Amino acid sequence: MQAFPTEILQHIFTFLPVQDIVCSSFQQASQDRHVWSTVYKYCRLPRLPGPFLGHTALYLENYLIQSAKLQRNWASSPQVIVKPLYTQTFHWPLSDDVHGSLLIGPWLIVAASRHIICYNVDSGNHDGSVMYDASQFRIYAFSAVGPQYSGEQHSAYLIVQEMDDSKRVVKMLQLLIPDHQSTNIPTLELLSEQQVNFLHRFGATVGPRCFAAAPMYLEDDHTNVYVMDTKHRRRLYLPARFESMHPVNQPTLPPGSAFSTLLVCSSHVLVLRTVPRRIRYCSSFVNAFQLPSDEDVEHGSSTLQMTHSGVFPDIGFMDVTCLRDSVVDGTTGSTVLTLIGHARAPTYQSSRTVDIVRLELTTDGRILMPECRTLVELDCGFTIHLQCFQGCGRGLLEGFMSSKRRLAISVDDTDQDSPIMISNIETSPRAQILGFDGIGGRICQRLRENEMELEVVNFI
C-alpha cells in the first residue's frame, strides 16, 4: 500500500468506512496530509469543520482515530452497555450552587453564584481559573450554547442572568476558544447587557452565521429576541410584531401560552412556537426570517423580514436542533432544512419520541413538512443532549421522572439506509448532567450526594 500513489489512496479512502481507514494496516499506508484531509472531509462521523491549513497530518490522523473509536463504542446496539474509560473529579472551591456548565474541547466552563470558572480537563491540574466575577450581582441563571466555528476560530455563547435587590440584568457573552496548539485559556467578550423587569428561562441556538436567544415562553412581542450576526459582528432584529403570511392564520397568543424554540441556519432564523392543548394535541407555528446576503449586509436593514410561515397541527417541537444546514433544492428552488429532536405531540399517557423532520421553505412563502420520521420511542419523558455536524449527530438521552435511563445515540443522516444506533450507558443515576461533549466523548455531571464535586466522565 505504501507504494500506491497518493491519488489512488485518496480514491480508495472515499469508499471505505472511517473505522477501516484508521485500522493499523491503513495507518501505515501513507502519512501524506492530502490522504488524511480527504478522509476527514468525506468521512461519515460527527466532526469539527475542516480540514484547515493549520491541521497537520498527525492532528487529522489522531482526531479520526479517536472519533472512530468513540463511534464504535458509543452506540452499537441496545444490548450493549457503554462504560466510561475513566472519570475525573473536580472539587468545587467555593460554597456556591452550580447554575450550569459547558464542555467544549478540553475546556470545562462552570458557573456558580458569584463566578464563572474555567478548567482544563486535559491538563491534569484540577485548579480552575476565574474568568468572570459577578461581584456587584448574584448569578441567578446560566445557559450556554455552542460550539460555533469560523475557520479555525472556535467559540461558544453564554447567557448570564444576574440580580440583586433592585436590578435584574441579562448579559450575552461570547467565549473565544484558543486553537489546539495554543496554551492560552478561553476568554470572554461582552456582546450585550440589558436591564429587564423579569428574569425568564432562556433558550439559545447557534448556527454558521448567527447566535440567537430568547425567553422559552415567547409572546407575540419579539423585541426580546436577541440575534447576533457573528460573521459581520452586528446585531439583527426581528419585527416587534408581525402578521402571519398566507396561508397560515396564526392566533394572537396570550402571555406564557406558547413554548418557543429558535433555530439558526446559514440562510434563515426560524421561530417555532408550540401551543399545548389541555386535553390531547398540540399545534406548532413556524416563522422564518431571511438573513441578509454578504452583499446586502453593509446597506441592508438590520431588521429581518419574515419570508415564510407554516402551521402544523398535532406537532409539538421540543429539544429540536439542526441536524443538517439549509440547502437549496436545484429542482424546486425550495430551501430544505433537516431537524432532529422531539416533534410528536404527546398525550399525557403517551411515550416520547426522537424524530427527524424535514422543513421545506417554498418559493411562494410556505413552510411544508415533507417528512417527520420517528427514530426512537421511549416509555418516559427525557432530555436530549445532542451535537450535530453536517448530518451526523452524537448525543445522550436522559430519562427523568420515573425513569433514570441514559441512552447513547448516534445518528447518520447522510444515507437514508443508515440506522440510528442506540446503547445503554453506564453512569450514576443519582448524578445531574451539566454538560455533554459529543466530539470529545465526555459528560460533566454532579453527584447529588456531594454537591461540592463535579465529575467528567470520559468514553475515549
φ and ψ of 34, to 5 deg: -60, -35
State the pTM of this model. 0.82
pLDDT tens for each residue of 19-40: 666 665 555 655 678 778 888 8
Which amino acid is present at 107?
A: W
At which residue does the C-alpha cell 461519515 appear? Answer: 44
Q: What percent of the chain has pLDDT over 70?
A: 77
Chain-wide mean pLDDT for the chain? Answer: 78
Q: How many whole angstroms separate alpha carbon 360 and alpha carbon 43?
A: 26
In a 10 Å sphere around its CB, with 0-12 CB exposed, 13-18 middle and 19+ buried, how is residue 162 labelled? Answer: buried
pLDDT tens for each residue of 92-131: 655 567 788 888 888 888 888 888 988 888 876 667 888 9
The answer to whether the CB of 378 falls within 8 A of the CB of 399 is: yes
Band (pLDDT 50/70/90 cuts) for residue 281 is: low
Band (pLDDT 50/70/90 cuts) for residue 184 is: confident
Q: What percent of the chain has pLDDT over 90?
A: 11
Which of the given ranges, 177-181, 186-190, 254-258, has the highest pLDDT on average?
A: 186-190
Band (pLDDT 50/70/90 cuts) for residue 307 is: very high
Residues in Cβ contact with 26 at an 8 Å cutoff, skipping those fewer than 6 apart: 1, 13, 16, 20
The answer to whether the CB of 189 falls within 8 A of the CB of 221 is: no
Q: How many whole angstroms separate alpha carbon 117 and alpha carbon 107?
A: 10
Name the more confident of 70 and 19. Answer: 70
Which amino acid is present at 162?
A: E
pLDDT tens for each residue of 417-439: 566 777 778 777 677 787 888 88
Give the pLDDT confidence score for residue 313 in this predicted structure.
84
Q: Maximum distance among all alpha carbons in the chain?
A: 74
What grid cell was written down for 244? 402571519
**Nearest one of 387, 420, 424 to 405, comparing CA atoms:** 424
**Nearest one of 75, 72, 145 to 104, comparing CA atoms:** 145
Band (pLDDT 50/70/90 cuts) for residue 402 is: very low
The answer to whether the CB of 120 falls within 8 A of the CB of 185 is: yes
**What per-residue string of b and e applies to 360-372 under the rule 16 or more CB within 10 Å gives b?**
bbeeebbbebeeb
Give the pLDDT mean for 207-232.
80
In a 10 Å sphere around its CB, with 0-12 CB exposed, 13-18 middle and 19+ buried, how is residue 247 labelled? Answer: exposed
Band (pLDDT 50/70/90 cuts) for residue 153 is: confident
Band (pLDDT 50/70/90 cuts) for residue 232 is: confident
Angle at 55 between CA 53 and CA 60, to 5 degrees: 135
φ and ψ of 274, to 5 deg: -110, 125
Strands (E), 265-399: 268-275, 283-290, 306-313, 315-328, 335-344, 352-361, 367-378, 382-389, 392-399
Which amino acid is present at 376?
A: V
Give the pLDDT confidence score for residue 247 in this predicted structure.
43
Q: How many whole angstroms separate alpha carbon 12 and alpha carbon 29?
A: 12
pLDDT tens for each residue of 242-253: 555 444 455 555
Q: How many whole angstroms separate alpha carbon 325 and alpha carbon 389?
A: 9
Band (pLDDT 50/70/90 cuts) for residue 189 is: very high
Task: Kindly tell me if the per-residue pLDDT of 341 is higher than 50.
Answer: yes
> Among 58-62, 245-249, 267-271, 399-403, which is the least confidently predicted range?
245-249
At which residue does the C-alpha cell 415533507 appear? Answer: 370
Task: Kindly tell me if the per-residue pLDDT of 331 is higher than 50.
Answer: yes
Q: How many whole angstroms separate alpha carbon 80 and alpha carbon 88?
A: 24
Beta pairing partners, 422: 409
pLDDT tens for each residue of 353-389: 888 899 999 999 999 999 888 887 777 667 778 887 7
At which residue does the C-alpha cell 447554575 appear? Answer: 99
What grid cell was written down for 94? 467555593
**Nearest one of 74, 58, 77, 69 to 23, comparing CA atoms:** 69
Provide the sign of the torsion angle of the four alpha carbons 208, 214, 217, 218, taken in this order. negative
**Nearest one of 353, 370, 352 to 361, comparing CA atoms:** 370
What grid cell was written down for 79? 444490548
Identify the H or E element spanning 264: strand 259-264
129-133 vs 138-150, strand pairing mode: unpaired
Residues in Cβ contact with 125 at an 8 Å cutoff, skipping those fewer than 6 apart: none
Give the pLDDT confidence score for residue 449 in this predicted structure.
57
Measure the CA dihedral 305/308/311/317, to 10°. Answer: -80
Give the pLDDT confidence score for residue 416 in this predicted structure.
59
Q: How many whole angstroms separate alpha carbon 316 and alpha carbon 290?
A: 23
Give the pLDDT mean for 191-195.
87
Task: Kindly tell me if the per-residue pLDDT of 214 is higher than 70.
Answer: yes
**Nearest one of 55, 43, 128 to 90, comparing CA atoms:** 128
Give the pLDDT confidence score for residue 32 in this predicted structure.
73
Give the pLDDT confidence score for residue 334 in this predicted structure.
94
